[in-house]
Amino acid sequence: MEEMKKDIGDLGEFGLISHLTKDLKIKHSTTIKGIGDDAAVLDYQGSELVITTDLLAEGVHFNLIYTPLRHLGYKSVVVNLSDVYAMNAIPKQITVSIAISKKHDIAMLEELYAGIKLACDRYGVDLVGGDTTSSFSGLIISITALGSVAKDKVVYRNGANETDLICVTGNLGAAYAGLQILERESTLFEKEGVQPILKDYEYVLERQLKPEARKDLIDYFEEKNLLPTSMIDISDGLSSEIMHICRQSGKGCELYEDKIPVDEQTSKVAEELGINPLTCALNGGEDYELLFTVPLSEYKNVNDHPFIHIIGHITPEKGKHSLILESGQEIELKAQGWNPILS
């Protein structure tokens, strides 16, 4: 006999929280009090506390037609942890708040929280609280991440110096390419009933639906005693992010087209869609790679790492953001990353 669908209203707010978080275990001694009180209690004596919050709204940041809820839960955690890593900090705790509509049932929320739990386990963070409420406009997820870093190790966006090397991890543009494929296939299915064929797009789809944060680089910095002069994560596109660093540091930059890393599948998808792969890398966003600057003296440490790419350098000309094309032509960078307020 098919199991009866559970109704969220039967559990109530606190019953729902208890149901969704009952399997979560405390991992850190700094978590004095987790879920179950008015607020979490954390002990961070002797280090800097880092806090960041991201809000994801259905129809703006994600589409449930093609986004699995487990993947969504995982991604909603990762995008916050990425901000913590961008401060050279280690995330320790998160809070999760959600607004839900009548179309969501217990099974759907269990899937969402399964992804949240997977991310907590993968990155070693504790879920210590949150809130739930109703929504008339679909699912809304708000996650706050807390982390710590030694006072002399915190990295901001405003520390880039003239001649610093500009570095980026991984490759860029894949998440944007994956989004374009999902949007195309969703439109074809809605208009013509054409079933999506996605077997040739696994990498770009994973980068869009289930990204990872670069914890490995923070570990590498610690191992090499390397402290970036500035750092930011790439959520809105390379152009926007390097301009944030330059503006806050009072400097300019030169990037080199042939140094910007783009995966082969991203290039193929871009060609298929009639998009310049460089456009995906510069303006696509949601890659959650780390963009950072280091002094020239750190060249060997960054050049020796297989996932770090040196893509340019910082210049003294404040407000001048240049891209040097393979042809040698110099063009001005434009911040054309996605703006959720204007979308």
| Average pLDDT, integer, range 263-277 | 96
Q: What is the DSSP letter of 296?
A: G
pLDDT band per the 50, 70, 90 thresholds, residue 3: low
* CA 157 – CA 314 distance, rounded (Å): 13
Pick the CATH number of 8-149 from 1.10.3470.10, 3.30.1330.10, 3.40.50.720, 3.90.580.10: 3.30.1330.10
- pLDDT, tens digit (0-9, with 9 covering 90-100), for 112-159: 999 999 999 999 999 999 999 999 989 999 999 999 999 899 999 999
As annotated, the residues of the chain forming the CATH 3.30.1330.10 domain(s) are 8-149
Q: 95 has which bridge partners?
A: 129, 144
- pLDDT for res 38: 63
pLDDT band per the 50, 70, 90 thresholds, residue 1: very low
In this structure, whether the domain defined by 165-332 belongs to CATH 3.90.650.10 is answered with yes
Length of the chain: 343
Q: 309 has which bridge partners?
A: 168
Average confidence score pLDDT of the chain: 91
3-state secondary structure at position 188? helix
Q: Which of 22, 14, 21, 20 is nearest to 38 (CA)?
A: 14
Contact (CB, 8 A) for 249 and 291: no
| Average pLDDT, integer, range 289-309 | 97
* CA 59 – CA 67 distance, rounded (Å): 11
Alpha helices in the chain (DSSP H): 8-21, 69-85, 106-123, 174-192, 202-209, 215-224, 238-249, 264-273, 277-283, 299-303
* CA 256 – CA 311 distance, rounded (Å): 6
Asked whether residue 198 carries a pLDDT value surpassing 90, the answer given is: no
End-to-end CA distance of the chain: 46
Contact (CB, 8 A) for 105 and 5: yes
Contact (CB, 8 A) for 139 and 98: yes
Asked whether residue 340 carries a pLDDT value surpassing 60, the answer given is: no
| Average pLDDT, integer, range 76-94 | 96
3-state secondary structure at position 260? coil
| Average pLDDT, integer, range 277-289 | 95
Residue type, 26: I
As annotated, the residues of the chain forming the CATH 3.90.650.10 domain(s) are 165-332
